Structure 1
Amino acid sequence: MYCHDEPSGLRAIIAIHSTALGPALGGTRFFPYPTEADALADVLNLARGMAYKNALAGLDLGGGKAVIIGDPTTDKTESLLRAYGRFVQSLGGRYYTACDVGTYVPDMDVIARECDFVTGRSPENGGAGDSSILTAIGVFQGMRACAQAAWGEPTLADRRVGIAGVGKVGRHLIAHLLQDGAQITVADVNPAALDWVRRNHPEVAVAESADELIRTGLDVYAPCALGGALDDETVGALTASVVCGAANNQLAHPGIDKALADRGVLYAPDYLVNAGGVIQVGDEAAYRERGGFSFERARKRAEGIFDTMLTIIRLAGEEGVPPAVAADRLAERRMRDVARLRGILLPEGARELRG
């Protein structure tokens, strides 16, 4: 759905990929896309990723996403957010929104003044607050599982981890890794983010660029910024033997997962390991009328990403496919099985699932 409100300057697109498992849930990205076509391509890819993420996380939620076209530092206003909330409301609950790149908990509180289908709100407004905390926990658990498979122990102690992007999730991830005894190098295009790292974690090394980072002697590479981080050039230069990060849509094009596997690199499917945030906002939405959000309940579920990652690694080995393919198959199987249970008829082998 294209959303345009001239008085506020809102230009947005909402994409629903699947409601086979339940209402579509996915965050709202506020980003200065060069063209509307770029925004459309991004929202469609992100919506598909959310469908698979929610399915693999065991949530009774479908996949959707929204993008607001603009610079959040200059274009974000109360009237724009409220206008956007009215568009979400008009879908009648088929789509639930939450935070993403460029949107934050206070923004969700504003959107919720016009809309019932908002999660990721502030605790004082009945919400769960910052979802990046559990996102980082899930990524860390995915890394631990990869370490178990690669080196025989579920720890990053004395391993060099390179984090590309130290925003909301990357900062929490640094803390978990340091506590586990890892050595860390970071890169970010935002000088302020690197200044934060230098002030708060002087023991963390800083690379000049993401390009330099991937060529550093790494054990684990963690893309934690925007999508498309893994392309042919990156894979060719990568020194790490494990890739596990928080960014969505890390694979720049089909076939990158096979290229990684051919080089002996263990890739943790992004939508599996970064599902901690959606687990949190999903808990908030599901339990709003039944006692409210429980951080401990959501944390326990996010920590289960460790076991799911090990399952994906095992299935990939048994089926002779990259882990990304094994994860897709498991998610598609769940969507298909539940859709049939609910009486939503889908053709055999359907990959594009719609409620």
Structure 2
Amino acid sequence: MTHDMTVSPRAALTSILVFVLIGATQALYGPALPSLSRQFGVSVSTAGLLISAHSLGALLGVLSAVPLQGRPFARWRAGVAVALLGVGAALLAVASSWSAALLAALLIGLGYGAITVGLNSLFAAGFGPRSAAMVNLLNALFGVGAVLGPLVVAAAPANARLPFVVIAASALLLLPFAVALDDRVASAPNTSRPRSPKGPLVGFIMLLALGVGVEASSIGWNATYLVSLGKTPQAAASFTALFFVLFTLGRLAAVPLSLRFAPPILVLVALTLAMGLLLVAHVPSAAPYALVALGGALAAVFPNTFTWASRAVQARQDATAVIVAGALLGSTIFPAVVGRAVALFGERAIPTTLATLAALTLTMALWMRWRTR
């Protein structure tokens, strides 16, 4: 495989369907937690450990690209990842013990993480000048899956296992196509100028950790802030749902935009807009609408930062895996940072804390723009 490789239509369609599947899978946990807690006889807070197990598996799945880089076995990564996801979902659907349920979530996460790094890297390198647009499209359809997942839960609110049966069956249907999918990306030779790869790599880890941290913190804390302004929990939930609608629309809008503008430009504009909206969110009457619009701004951050980073490190999957791992850590650490700010200063500090994180992210993006110019 070479750096000017192209992705076949069949491989592209398989990748897109797999991404819809993992989007739906990740979005199942939250709505299914109450039913799962009853199913296994544990508290809802304990049932939340399923999300932690999934996140740990996802981190391990992403980092698996490091030892697999250049190994023949990497040829089967996509197929093995879809199989792991399907086996995990099937196990969760039939598990009779809590420990088996945690193992199932870990297996789902392993498949999820390997798929995330493998297919994002493939799309970032496999479509030539259109690669940035295709990464945006891939992640937009992840969002479509995230919308569909809770609908499956809503269709069977009393049956916590049925949604995971659907996921397992979908993975089984996709497995033959995933086995045929080779998502390996070879490093492109650096023919421009000598540079140390460590500086950009560390910088992109920090940038994605911050950017995804702002995204995860907004998802986790916006509703709490709206309730502190006097909105009912139901109204806050409605605005959160609209945030996800704008988030998905923002990723779809980024597809044509990425054909006209370089990834760093889109990232800088998105972060500037996000910081501005978070400042507007300090005004109580404007806060709900600013936070809904924030979904559209943040949508462009991850896929375009990933494309930018993969070009800077010559699409090496071991390097991009470490970068994505940084993003996962950011989504874990920074919501806790916002929570600490809430504990110290109250709920009204949420937009200030998020705006500060967005400003740090924008500063980091400007530095990386200068560093990789």
Q: Return the TM-score normalized by structure 2.
A: 0.26
Higher helix proportion? 2
TM-score relative to the length of structure 1: 0.27
Q: Which structure would you say has the larger RCO, counting Cα contacts within 8 Å and 6 or more residues apart?
A: 2
